[in-house]
Amino acid sequence: MPSFHNVYFHVDEKPDTPSVDPVPMNLESLVQSPASRSVIDSSTSNWSDEQAARYYLESFLRQRSEEGLSSLIAPLRSETMPDMQLNRTMDSPLTETRILQFRQTNRSIPIFGAEAVVEIRDRDRHLVSLDAKLAEAPDVSPIAQISPKDALAYIAKYCEKSEDALADYEAMALNYYLDQNEKWHLVYYFAGVAGAPVARQSDKPEADHSDLKGCHGHGDATSPRHDHARYDYLVDANDGEIVFLFSSYAQIDVPIPCDGEDEDGVTREFDGRHTGHDYEMVDPLRNIKTYDHSFNDITISPPTNAIDHPDVNFQAINTAGVSAHYHAQLVFDFYNNTLKRKGIDDKGMGVISYVNCTYNGSGKHWKNAVWYKKKMWYGQQSQSGGGYRSLATYLDVIAHELTHGVTETTSNLVYRDESGALNESFSDTFGVIINNWYPNEPNAITGWDWEIGSGLGAGGLPLRDMSDPKRTGDPDKYSNRKYIGTNTDNGGVHINSNIHNKAAYNLLTSTDSAGAYHFPPKVAALLYYLTLVRLTRIATFSDCLRVLKSVARTYYSGNTVEQTEKIKAIEDAYDAVEIR
């Protein structure tokens, strides 16, 4: 029966099967290994990172002799792992390693969700870890029976929209897809289609959704990401069936020190830019720009000029703008200084924020903040004493939303079911960590605020509480499967995220026999970041645990006693929520 195979290796972990010899740990031994069949230069100095990663992956699969994966080694072709396509490479300065992610193909057609992540050392390209989800060769013809235009017509019918309305999708390509019944499909993969599915009577019934009151995202108001949602669709290339869908989601200037009052009346210092006559909320080094949308609907063309003032002291001229600009700098500094990531996409991507936004006839009370079209949009909520308070005041919410951008440009977790719940949980985890990071990097986790969006939930509750998910009606154990499989909220991503949230809380607060925390905040943040960037797109909770332990083995390598203790602490934290 066709299926995915999880393939895992770490240099510091013994193989599960005693009869399996360890894969060669360095290029020199790999060249001399009988497993290497290609004629290659015995000097490895000319090897590329990709060449090294491919040979490590091939050598490991040869030794494993995994049934069903032998075709990947391609005995009749001269290339090394020809069916693995390099997708992205990322440096990891904090561990002095490099990560190479490959996508599996068959007959040059990508297999959806089949990926391999190989980690090698910077200095010598020695193997550190390998984590892959690989598939047997699909038993379906690579020849499509319907055209891409016909496939789009099926999507249009499914969305009850015209084909012209969906014509601005972002990309389309053939893929193989293995469905939940382990049946292969040749599909057209349409990415970023501007059409949401329409609920219909034939959809899977949902027994009791009174418990879905905990389905809360970023606020209690609608947003354009919901109303103008984009989805990825996988359409069977033979009969047009929708088999799977999910939500898509340097000029150098001299920075000028500025200050101004934020929404709480606190004077904040931030970097701005001098235009020659005014000072504006443009941080040229961090590439952060903040605009005032003047309570206009966010579907209206945004302003072209950033918030400005004749003096470096903005006083209380635009308190929402100061909050947004200052908090964006904090999130940037955390990722840049602590995790060594160059902005949201690790390539210096700009952080553009719009404050004083409204949406869909909400009036000035638009209680929401959203990462939409790779920008931040902030609404505000009315106050009992009059006036409005911008959601830009919530550092945890801002960090949560911007972390979606980090996920989008790394593992790009599919926004549905368990992978979607992980997507949300990583945003929550970093939202809480960053919120508690300032004003000074914490030395311990004692006294942390574990809420996301304090007071933004129903009845004055937070949106979520990592320390006590049940407080907001959410599950805190994996055995509570009554939410998983729902059609609501992309498979309950904001509900099921709390299961992993609780595991992260358990890990962050775990202590040893002497009462000391196992993981200082900086180390915990690093471990979760390195886990996030190593996950495959359809990772499950169990996959996440496995990768987290792999990252920990790398981080604590060289000290077997400490390494064993930390791995046990991680396993205990996740076992408590029944993720194994």
Rounded-to-10 torsion of CA 473, 477, 482, 486:
80
Q: Is 404 a catalytic residue?
A: no
CB-side neighbour CA atoms (13 Å) of 283? 29
Q: Is 206 exposed, middle or buried (0-12, 13-18, 19+ CB in 10 A)?
A: exposed
**In DSSP terms, which residues pair with 284 in a beta bridge?**
none
Q: Using alpha carbons, list the distances in angstroms from residue 210 to 206, 214, 483, 497, 552.
A: 10, 9, 11, 18, 40
Closest of 214, 316, 219 to residue 262, by C-alpha: 316
In DSSP notation, 512-557 reads: -TTS-BSS-HHHHHHHHHHHHTT--TT--HHHHHHHHHHHHHHHTT
Q: Is 391 exposed, middle or buried (0-12, 13-18, 19+ CB in 10 A)?
A: buried
Closest of 507, 522, 518 to residue 340, by C-alpha: 522
CA–CA distance, 46 with 64 (Å, rounded to integer) = 28
Catalytic residue from among 136, 280, 401, 451: 401
Task: Give the type of residue at 148.
Answer: P
> Can you state the angle between helices 489-508 and 417-437, rounded to 10 degrees?
40
Task: Give the type of residue at 215.
Answer: C
Q: Is 149 exposed, middle or buried (0-12, 13-18, 19+ CB in 10 A)?
A: exposed
C-alpha 539, offset from chain centre? 11
Q: Using alpha carbons, list the distances in angstroms from residue 186 to 151, 169, 178, 369, 456.
A: 12, 20, 9, 38, 44
CB 234 within 8 A of CB 188: yes
Kindly tell me the sign of the dihedral angle through the C-alpha atoms of 11, 13, 16, 19.
positive
Whole-angstrom Cα Rg for the chain: 25
Q: How many CB atoms lie within 10 A of CB 210?
A: 6
Tell me the three state secondary structure of residue 105: strand
Catalytic residue from among 216, 325, 404, 494: 494
Q: Is 401 a catalytic residue?
A: yes
CA–CA distance, 563 with 553 (Å, rounded to integer) = 6
CA–CA distance, 237 with 164 (Å, rounded to integer) = 20
Which residue's entry shows tokens 């009988």?
34
Which residue's entry shows tokens 């981080």?
555
Query: Beta strand 288-297 with 351-358: parallel, antiparallel or unpaired?
Result: parallel
CA–CA distance, 462 with 396 (Å, rounded to integer) = 11
Rounded-to-10 torsion of CA 264, 435, 226, 166:
120
What are the residue numbers of the active site? 401, 494
